[in-house]
Structure 1
Amino acid sequence: MTSDPWLDLLGLINGFQITQAIHVASALRVADHLSGAARSAGELAALTRSHPDSLYRLLRALAAVGVFREEEGRTFTLTPMGDCLRTNSGTPLGAWAEVVGSPYFWQSWGHLLHSVQTGENAFQDLNSKDVWQFRAEHPEHGATFDRAMTQFSRGSAEAVIRAYDFSPFRHIVDVGGGQGLMLAAILRAHPHVRGTLFDQPDVVAQARAVLAKRGVIDRCNIVGGSFFETVPEGADAYLMRVVIHDWEDDEAIAILKVCRRAAGEAAKLLLIERLVGPPNEMPATKFSDLNMLVSPGGRERTREEFSDLFAKSGFELTRVFPAGIHNVIEARPH
């Protein structure tokens, strides 16, 4: 079938409607209620305390784009895509849908023109504070964001473990590792490895339960602190998952220099990050880069830009291993 440029562009222009619809379905936990059983729109309305006809209109729209499937009698079932909205999905995205659909998040995107014209961060300009301070002051938003990052780790951990061989290491420090899901997956896959989880004290406060649930707490230390000041020394691998993209070059280099001071000459630095691809390709990473511009700050980078960061902080890029939507970018001290 021949593509219609007008219709294709209209679909892109109206993409926000799908985003908001998925956000509402996730906030109402519709996928959890559909887990293992078909339900009518009326049943779902009762379970979610929603207006029956309005909920039906939401669900049929999402069924039209493959998130759910509409059966006879206004009954709905889960699709593989919709399954990713379940709280206990193996590849969950529900918390991220809740973050993206929150007013504080999409209002920053509404300020994109300001960022493009000035180079300034949209969220900072709108709120007179950065998004990290905002989440610290609004714990409910911070908790949802932390849950989204944990879900992302769960969804990407298997791809990372398949892509990179962690078996040569004996001690891995996960710098900025959140609640420890990525590190726990590595330790489970490699029983001889010890780990240290390092992040801000209020973040790692919730990590013990995550590590204990996955049976690795006996091989993992939990340390709170700032990676701008110090990180634990003596490991043979320093891992950072989607940390460096949160920062502009000067701050990124400062973080990497702290890691370099802690790392021995034989240690490896492992960044799990997206890579910006060639022109006209890989839109997801390039739109993620725009998200960095308007909300958290920082940027997505090309392989060459990572190599330049490493050179300025005492490392040398050695290899890149594709791992799903991310890459494991390996560097060594020089």
Structure 2
Amino acid sequence: MTSNTTDLESVFTSVVDDLVGLIKSQAIRLAAQLQLADLVKDGPKSLTELAEETGTNKAALYRLLYALANCGYFEEVEPEIFAQSERSYALRTDIPRSLHGFAIMHGGEEWQWEPWRNALQSIQTGKPVFPEMFGKDLWHYFKDDNPEAGKRFQKAMSSQSRQYELAIARGYDFSAARTIIDVGGGQGSLLATILQTYPAIRGTLFDRESVIAMARQSNLVDGLQDRVTLVSGNFFEAVPSGADIYILKQIIHDWEDPESLQILSNCRKAMKADGRVLVIDEIITPGKKVPPVIALIDLQLQLLMRGRKRSEAEHRSLFEAAGLRLTHVWPTDSTYTILEAMAL
């Protein structure tokens, strides 16, 4: 620790910035809800215009935009005239890699924020607090209590996933495969990217019935219908058989070891003799730093469910228990790592 006064001032300023992070995320969420980035996509607009188009109070909207502009979201090019910035551009709804849905989910969903009220309990007991607070696990909450939140979750996950899909498709050589199955693949964004990158491959998107219904309504697999099969089911019971590659992207980190083992075992039973299972996730190694977002999402998982981000060694142990062996670890030009496993 330094004793330099200037350095200490900088440290304290940074800490204060972190402490008001809640306010920043809520402000970004409001910008997404009001679709402000869409409203200035064709050029700067006056505060009066923006207030009229959003149905908001002009003075209050200025305070929101002023706060956002000072955080790098939007730019006040003249007094009460606001333009797009690089960061606010990411909130547009009409761009391929939009973070609009992700901003709304992380800024405003009850299931995200309420568990933090009991965060200390989770740290003391080591158990998630969401099931106790909501009376069921997150997935049944989406299914039974708040299907609209579940839809927003799926859209947000697809939005977030699109930031890294090309890096994943290029980070592993899929060319030898004829068929791949994306297990728990959401709306099919990653599968579509892989199929677009490798035109000879056919793919199956496998997820819960409600998610597959959303995938049918989305345009993520447009132009690929003759190469994509949509199948609904429960990966704890079985997965479609006979594929060369089974993809599990951000799946087993949602579950404890017994559930993760069941998913991996079902993939092992279903795959061809020379098939492969690819676990695609962000790896946490004790003592090694990772981008803060990875560690923070892992902390959020602590509150929500019994899953967690795992180390390479922990993945290796799970593979072996499922009758698989870790054959290769492929880094990508993203935060994700691809862990390849084959039959023992």
Q: 2:301 aligned with 1:292, yes or no?
A: yes
SS at match of 2:48: helix
Residues 208 and 217 in structure 1, CA contact (< 8 A), matched pair in contact too: no
Report the CA distance shift for 1:68/1:190 in structure 2 as closer, same or farther (over 3 A): same
Match of 1:328 among 324, 333, 338: 338
SS at match of 2:162: helix
Cα distance in 2, alignment partners of residues 64 and 152 from structure 1:
24
Cα distance in 2, alignment partners of residues 263 and 213 from structure 1:
24
Report the CA distance shift for 1:297/1:70 in structure 2 as closer, same or farther (over 3 A): farther
CA deviations over 1:213-261 (Å, ceiling 9, x no partner): 5311111111110000110111000011111111111111111011110
1:108-123 map, 5 Å: 108-123=115-130
Q: Which residue of 2 aligns with 1:27?
A: 33
SS at match of 1:155: coil
Deviation at 1:211, TM superposition (A): 5.7
* Root-mean-square deviation (Å): 1.6
Q: 2:93 aligned with 1:77, yes or no?
A: no
Q: 2:56 aligned with 1:50, yes or no?
A: yes
SS at match of 1:215: coil
Match of 1:301 among 298, 306, 310: 310
Q: Which residue of 2 aligns with 1:272?
A: 280
Unpaired runs of at least 5, structure 2: 1-5
Q: 2:178 aligned with 1:173, yes or no?
A: no
Cα distance in 2, alignment partners of residues 96 and 11 from structure 1:
21
Deviation at 1:296, TM superposition (A): 4.0
Cα distance in 2, alignment partners of residues 277 and 52 from structure 1:
49
The residue identity in structure 2 corresponding to 1:24 is: L
SS at match of 1:235: coil
Report the CA distance shift for 1:220/1:58 in structure 2 as closer, same or farther (over 3 A): same
CA deviations over 1:300-326 (Å, ceiling 9, x no partner): 111111111111111111222223121
SS at match of 1:276: coil
1:54-73 map, 5 Å: 54-73=60-79
Cα distance in 2, alignment partners of residues 103 and 262 from structure 1:
38
Q: Which residue of 2 aligns with 1:150?
A: 158
Residues 171 and 193 in structure 1, CA contact (< 8 A), matched pair in contact too: yes
Between stretches 250-259 and 151-160, larger displacement belongs to 151-160
SS at match of 1:2: helix
1:31-42 map, 5 Å: 31-42=37-48
The residue identity in structure 1 corresponding to 2:133 is: L
Cα distance in 1, alignment partners of residues 286 and 83 from structure 2:
39
The residue identity in structure 1 corresponding to 2:15 is: L
Deviation at 1:96, TM superposition (A): 1.4
Deviation at 1:154, TM superposition (A): 2.0
Deviation at 1:263, TM superposition (A): 1.1
CA deviations over 1:26-79 (Å, ceiling 9, x no partner): 111111112121112221121111111111111111111112211102111222
Deviation at 1:92, TM superposition (A): 1.9
Report the CA distance shift for 1:10/1:239 in structure 2 as closer, same or farther (over 3 A): same
Q: Which residue of 1 aligns with 2:3?
A: none
SS at match of 2:60: helix
Match of 1:222 among 202, 207, 230: 230
Deviation at 1:88, TM superposition (A): 2.2
SS at match of 2:194: helix
Cα distance in 1, alignment partners of residues 21 and 220 from structure 2:
40
Deviation at 1:280, TM superposition (A): 5.8
Deviation at 1:297, TM superposition (A): 3.7
Deviation at 1:278, TM superposition (A): 4.7
Q: Which residue of 2 aligns with 1:315?
A: 324
Unpaired runs of at least 5, structure 1: none
Residues 67 and 78 in structure 1, CA contact (< 8 A), matched pair in contact too: yes
Between stretches 226-235 and 26-35, larger displacement belongs to 26-35
Residues 177 and 197 in structure 1, CA contact (< 8 A), matched pair in contact too: yes
Cα distance in 2, alignment partners of residues 15 and 309 from structure 1:
36
SS at match of 1:23: helix
Q: 2:113 aligned with 1:103, yes or no?
A: no
Residues 272 and 328 in structure 1, CA contact (< 8 A), matched pair in contact too: yes
Deviation at 1:118, TM superposition (A): 1.0
TM-score by length of 2: 0.92
Match of 2:7 among 2, 16, 21: 2
Match of 2:24 among 18, 27, 36: 18
SS at match of 1:318: strand
Deviation at 1:89, TM superposition (A): 2.4
The residue identity in structure 1 corresponding to 2:26 is: Q
Cα distance in 2, alignment partners of residues 130 and 277 from structure 1:
27
Residues 189 and 221 in structure 2, CA contact (< 8 A), matched pair in contact too: no
Residues 238 and 263 in structure 1, CA contact (< 8 A), matched pair in contact too: yes
Report the CA distance shift for 1:286/1:192 in structure 2 as closer, same or farther (over 3 A): same
CA deviations over 1:131-158 (Å, ceiling 9, x no partner): 2122222122111111101212222211
SS at match of 1:329: strand
Residues 318 and 332 in structure 1, CA contact (< 8 A), matched pair in contact too: yes
Residues 85 and 92 in structure 1, CA contact (< 8 A), matched pair in contact too: yes
Deviation at 1:330, TM superposition (A): 1.4
